[in-house]
């Protein structure tokens, strides 16, 4: 039996498009919230100079906000980001470097050393942006420079003549004896003594050995390890027909004090400080330092002699270094000491020579302690530098023992107030 249509049509269901599309609208809105900021930051990074590949790497490092906040861009930074060789703790350093500048672990060590003596991040960026490595290492010895731009300008003004071999400045960037520190005597062979680092009045090297008149004027002596090496070097000089002799050697604290006090009484302290070293600040007290003269070239200055020309390079084979190179007087503060040599051991002498640094710079970069140990670079950075290396094979030579209890490193960072004047 069939049903009869009563004439009424079944009502049709109407699709509620608002409900159907709502999820898609929400998804689109969320996507926009996520994509638009990325598109915006990508645009900003491109405006700084980064490529799409570099932007991807920046995001992987999580550095987008940091880079945009500081407006950092350099080719050096971009290349290291792209190659994933960036050390993020030095990002400001990468950003400061010009295109032709390559950074290595030694640069990072110097950065931390300068931080340890008081230099701020903005100062370091300025230094690294405009100066080369060997133009900055003297700052490890100089007084803290409140206005680093003066030092930078001085270095740049001497670019035509300065090099890793020779360094001159017009200005003076330290005041002798202004900030002084008791030197670390843990290893007497390598300890640093200059116009900032001093030895106590009680310090005397062990095994002080008299030097034969064959090699020295009467009354000379050295610590035994240095004495033995000096005799060997003298014999080599005789064989090379560039004979020399020891004119000055170990000087006790008491002897130096007597000389200094006498000069002060004659001319006053200010003048005396330009003529005689203060007691404790004379490297001869270490028993590892000598002054030499040529045996036969008596009609020429030692600085111009064949003896000096041979000795300043040959000395390294015997563990000695020319302590105050004339070409680096602006760094060492000693202008007329071409015959002053210092024993530091054969292996370390090679490392110092290869570095092209003065011993003061080398010691302050690689060997001295830290005021703030949190600034010590990561182990993998240090492992690729000469940090802490005295002997490349890590086997220390037998060395004389000190009669002094090793002194802790007592360096202090830069003072909190700008000095009123400087030399």
- Give the per-residue pLDDT at 101: 81
The sign of the CA dihedral 237, 238, 243, 248 is: positive
Distance (Å, rounded) from C-alpha 246 to C-alpha 234? Answer: 9
Distance (Å, rounded) from C-alpha 253 to C-alpha 204? Answer: 8
**73-116: pLDDT as tens digits:** 999 999 999 999 999 999 999 999 987 788 999 999 999 999 99
* Cα–Cα separations (whole angstroms), residue 277 to 230, 237, 270: 24, 30, 12
Q: How far is CA 191 from the centre of its chain?
A: 17
Q: Hey, where are the domains in the chain?
A: 181-365
Q: What CATH architecture is 181-365?
A: 2-Layer Sandwich (3.30)
Q: Which of 198, 232, 199, 202 is nearest to 215 (CA)?
A: 232
Element (H or E) spanning 246, and its range? strand 244-248
**170-207: pLDDT as tens digits:** 999 999 999 999 999 999 999 999 999 999 999 999 89
State mean pLDDT over 246-254: 98
Q: Which of the pair, 17 or 347, is modelled with greater confidence?
A: 347
Contact 370, 378 (CB under 8 A): no
Q: Which of the pair, 229 or 392, is modelled with greater confidence?
A: 229
Distance (Å, rounded) from C-alpha 74 to C-alpha 57? Answer: 15
- Give the per-residue pLDDT at 30: 61
């Amino acid at each position: 039996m069939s049903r009869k249509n009563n004439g009424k049509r079944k009502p049709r269901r109407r699709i509620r498009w608002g409900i159907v599309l709502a999820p898609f609208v929400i998804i689109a809105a969320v996507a926009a919230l996520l994509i638009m900021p990325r598109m915006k930051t990508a645009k900003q990074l491109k405006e700084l100079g980064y490529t799409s590949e570099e932007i991807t790497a920046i995001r992987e490092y999580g550095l987008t906000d940091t880079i945009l906040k500081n407006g950092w861009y350099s080719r050096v930074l971009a290349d290291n980001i792209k190659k994933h060789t960036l050390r993020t703790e030095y990002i400001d350093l990468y950003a400061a470097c010009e295109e032709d500048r390559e950074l290595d672990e030694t640069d990072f060590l110097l950065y931390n050393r300068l931080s340890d003596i008081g230099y701020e991040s903005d100062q370091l960026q300025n230094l690294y942006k405009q100066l080369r490595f060997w133009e900055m290492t003297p700052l490890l010895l100089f007084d803290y420079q409140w206005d680093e731009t003066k030092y930078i300008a001085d270095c740049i003004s001497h670019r035509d003549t300065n090099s890793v071999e020779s360094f001159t400045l017009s200005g003076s960037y330290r005041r002798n004896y202004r900030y002084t520190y008791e030197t670390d005597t843990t290893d007497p062979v390598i300890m640093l003594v200059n116009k900032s680092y001093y030895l106590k009045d009680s310090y005397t090297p062990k095994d002080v050995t008299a030097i034969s008149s064959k090699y020295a004027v009467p009354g000379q002596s050295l610590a035994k390890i240095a004495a033995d090496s000096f005799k060997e070097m003298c014999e080599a000089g005789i064989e090379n027909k560039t004979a020399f002799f020891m004119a000055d050697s170990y000087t006790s604290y008491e002897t130096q004090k007597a000389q200094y006090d006498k000069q002060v009484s004659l001319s006053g302290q200010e003048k005396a400080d330009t003529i005689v070293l203060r007691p404790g600040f004379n490297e001869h007290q270490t028993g590892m330092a000598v002054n030499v003269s040529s045996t036969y070239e008596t009609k020429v200055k030692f600085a111009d002699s064949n003896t000096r020309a041979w000795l300043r390079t040959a000395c390294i084979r015997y563990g000695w270094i020319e302590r105050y190179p004339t070409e680096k007087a602006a760094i060492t503060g000693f202008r007329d000491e071409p015959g002053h040599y210092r024993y530091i051991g054969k292996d370390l002498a090679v490392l110092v020579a290869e570095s092209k640094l003065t011993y003061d710079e080398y010691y302050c970069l690689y060997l001295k302690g830290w005021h703030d140990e949190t600034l010590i670079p990561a182990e993998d950075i240090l492992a690729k530098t000469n940090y802490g290396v005295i002997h490349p094979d890590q086997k220390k030579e037998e060395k004389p023992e000190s009669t002094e209890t090793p002194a802790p490193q007592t360096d202090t960072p830069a003072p909190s107030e700008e000095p009123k004047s400087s030399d």
